[in-house]
Amino acid sequence: METTTTERRRLFATEKVGGRAVYRLQAATVAAGILLVLYYRATRVPAAGEGRAAWLGMAAAELWFAVYWVITQSVRWCPVRRRTFKNRLAERYKENLPGVDVFVCTADPHAEPPSLVISTILSVMAYNYPSEKISVYLSDDGGSILTFYALWEASMFAKKWLPFCRRYNIEPRSPAAYFSESEGHHNLCSPKEWSFIKNLYEEMRERIDSAVMSGKIPEEIKLKHKGFDEWNSEMTSKNHQPIVQVLIDGKSQNAVDDDGNVLPTLVYMAREKSPQYHHNFKAGALNALIRVSALISDSPVILNVDCDMYSNNSDSIRDALCFFLDEEMSHKIGFVQYPQNYNNMTKNNIYGNSLNVINHVEMRGLDSAGGCLYIGTGCFHRREILCGKKFSKDYKEDWGRGIKERGHENIDEIEEKAKSLATCTYELRTQWGNEIGVKYGCPVEDVITGLAIHCRGWESVYMEPQRAAFVGVAPATLAQTILQHKRWSEGNFTIFLSKHNTFLFGHGKISLQLQMGYCIYGLWAANSLPTIYYVMIPALGLVKGTPLFPEIMSPWATPFIYVFCVKTLYSLYEALLSGDTLKGWWNGQRMWMVKRITSYLYGFIDTIRKLLGLSKMSFEITAKVSDGDEAKRYEQEILEFGSSSPEYVIIATVALLNFVCLVAGLSKIMAAAT
């Protein structure tokens, strides 16, 4: 009876994923096969001058693959899934819920169109949550008047959009996604009202897109908000003063929608930029948002999303709070991470960007080890923990505090104070970017920040609701895919080679299983070298007649064939179970090879160059838009080789080498047979 009562109090449940007995059987047999392969390599080394160097290289590559395979099993041994009880949350807390600050980051109005950004903004303003407890902050690292104009337009449109969402409980609440998905009007909505709201949205989007195309804001528009006065002709994206503008003040009596309901607070921030100071990319923007939001709203919960990652589930906040407010486990939980999903995936996942296996298998396995990764978007943090608080068994969050009281200050005075928190010099000689806030010095600031939180004693949870919580835009060309994975592999490898290496930094702080889980991604870049060796040397050996594998009739061929076949079949099983198609899995296998010999290779080289002081860290934005021809080819699932790039040279060279060697090898075999 006591257990039943306890279970009834819980706001979430943790369930083990089934099928582990079959998995462990195949893992044990594959491990045995790998050991036999390594034994064969070690006991049959040829004499000098008979291909010994190539043989030893193959042995080293296979040893590396064996070690990496063991590391990947850490997240497959005992994965879990989470289930929340939002009805219990509502019964227990009713509307006595904590405030939530939502951070959205953008940096370039051309790579990240403002019309796309505001759809994300509108979606997070429209959560199924008390509007007076939501504060939305947009960080514009480009300091663009075009982005500010788009946000001002969104603040006007929100007065009609939010009541429309609430009235008909629509999903998704991004207007761009909603109107593109719905073929006709909503079942509960009259065609006239549906068309009216749609026309308002399309007219707003056209005005924004026209302004971006022309690069100018109409003078009559500039008169409608004082914020436009912040810009002058001398400002550039890399040199401008701090700008903080509150477009909707949720505490003002005038901040109401067309139904008379309170609107969420909406704030624009462009932190100061100067060529004399390093701005620390997205991490610097997030830390500035932490400080500015602490002055304006100071909500105990922070959600950060990428500008293209709109809210697809209006209950995501309530799902996250089921973990933060659970009476049994909440004191351990530092952040709640949602998966990264995309709305522009082709049926067969042409560029292998769906992340399905990572989302459905690996992140669940990390969750069982005490903490999934913080992946930089779709993540709910507790403010105090993000700001450096260490775990304590006695710690208890004060969820009862509401949005920060303003006192006698008016909004103009608050904006001026907030600007001082977003200057280039504010962080000098402080612990910001080190012990406080998001960490600096790494291209994947999210992963290293999550690791630091775990090493301070906190756990994290991975929440994958039936309806995706956040949906974004995946790279739609090969060049964009290679660029994105280069940045990811470079950043994770930088962590692996730094003092934050999980086996060193995490020793005694996080479990060995979680240490290994982080290394799956930390060693992406290092995988490039043995992979390139393995795809080139056997082909050359075939031409030279150097035997690098046992003869097909030899018993020693069995472990090679078994390991290859079972690993491939289990990979197919995981992909199909995660929602991929058979062709989608095959495309993923192809892109697995392409990424290893291009993205990961360049990530490896760039990381080593930085460690040697030969280059500096940079941050390249993955474009969120493609031109018409590229988009058409992507929809038709035609591989995009539309630009010249050194990466394409590597792909072509490896493919051509293997083709030529195959033809030459077969010719020799046929000649010998005759």
Locate 558 and state its tokens: 């069995």
282 annotated ligand binder: yes
Pick left, alpha or beta for residue 211 (phi over 0 → left; psi -120 to 50 → alpha; otherwise beta).
Answer: alpha
Taken in order 382, 412, 281, 143, the sign of the CA dihedral is: positive
* 649-660 confidence digits (pLDDT tens): 888 899 999 999
Q: Work out the end-to-end distance of the chain between its first and last CA atoms, rounded to an integer number of angstroms.
A: 82
Percent of the chain's residues with pLDDT above 90:
78
Q: What is the DSSP string of 243-300?
A: EEEEEE-TTSTT-B-TTSPBPPEEEEEE--B-TTS---HHHHHHHHHHHHHHHHT--S
Q: What average pLDDT is seen over the chain?
A: 91
637 annotated ligand binder: no
Q: Mark whether 249 is an active-site residue.
A: no
Starting at the earlier edge strand, list the strands of the sheet with 100-106.
243-248, 265-270, 134-140, 100-106, 301-306, 379-382, 333-337, 459-462
pLDDT at 527 over 80: yes
pLDDT at 187 over 70: no
Which architecture does CATH list for 84-340+375-474? Alpha-Beta Complex (3.90)
* 41-90 confidence digits (pLDDT tens): 999 999 888 889 999 999 999 999 999 999 999 999 999 999 999 999 99
Residues 326, 12 contacting (CB under 8 angstroms): yes
Give the model's pLDDT for residue 185. Answer: 53
Q: What share of the chain is helix, strand, coil (3-state, %, to 5)?
A: 50, 10, 40
- For residues 99-111, give the mean pLDDT: 94
* 385-407 confidence digits (pLDDT tens): 999 999 988 888 877 665 666 66
Locate 448 and state its tokens: 């290293």
Q: Mark whether 580 is an active-site residue.
A: no
What are the Cα distances from residue 174, in Å, to 115, 129, 168, 177, 520?
11, 16, 14, 5, 34
Say how far apart CA 545 and CA 526 lie, in whole Å.
Answer: 29
Say how far apart CA 301 and CA 489 lie, in whole Å.
Answer: 30
pLDDT band (50, 70, 90) for residue 622: low
Residues 312, 122 contacting (CB under 8 angstroms): no
Question: Which one is catalytic: 141, 249, 319, 580?
Answer: 141
pLDDT at 1 over 70: no
Give the model's pLDDT for residue 621. Answer: 59
Taking the CA atoms of residue 164, residue 165, residue 168 and residue 174 in that order, the dihedral angle to the nearest 10 degrees is 120
The position carrying tokens 């960007």 is: 353
Letter string b/e over residues 440-473, b meaning 16 or more CB atoms within 10 A of that residue's CB: bbbbbbbbbbbbbbbbebbbbbbbbbeebbbbbb
pLDDT at 588 over 60: yes
pLDDT at 377 over 80: yes
- For residues 401-430, give the mean pLDDT: 86
Helix (H) or strand (E) holding 672: helix 646-673
Closest CA to 230 of 419, 427, 425, 423: 419
Helix (H) or strand (E) holding 628: helix 628-635
Question: Which one is catalytic: 140, 446, 580, 606?
Answer: 446
Give the model's pLDDT for residue 7. Answer: 59
Choose between 618 and 250: higher pLDDT. Answer: 250
Give the model's pLDDT for residue 2. Answer: 47
Give the model's pLDDT for residue 534. Answer: 95
pLDDT at 183 over 80: no
Instruction: For residue 138, give the DSSP letter.
Output: E
Give the model's pLDDT for residue 393. Answer: 85
Helix (H) or strand (E) holding 100: strand 100-106
Q: Range(s) for CATH 3.90.550.10 in the chain? A: 84-340+375-474
Residue 398 CB coordination number (10 Å): 8
- For residues 11-37, give the mean pLDDT: 94
Helix (H) or strand (E) holding 420: helix 411-420
Q: What is the DSSP string of 553-610?
A: TSTTHHHHHHHHHHHHHHHHHHHHHTT--HHHHHHHHHHHHHHHHTHHHHHHHHHHHH
**How much is the pTM?**
0.93
Chain length of the chain: 674
112 annotated ligand binder: yes
**175: which residues sit within 8 A by CB, 6+ positions away?**
119, 122, 157, 161, 197, 201
Give the model's pLDDT for residue 140. Answer: 97
Give the model's pLDDT for residue 405. Answer: 67
| SS3 label, residue 14 | strand
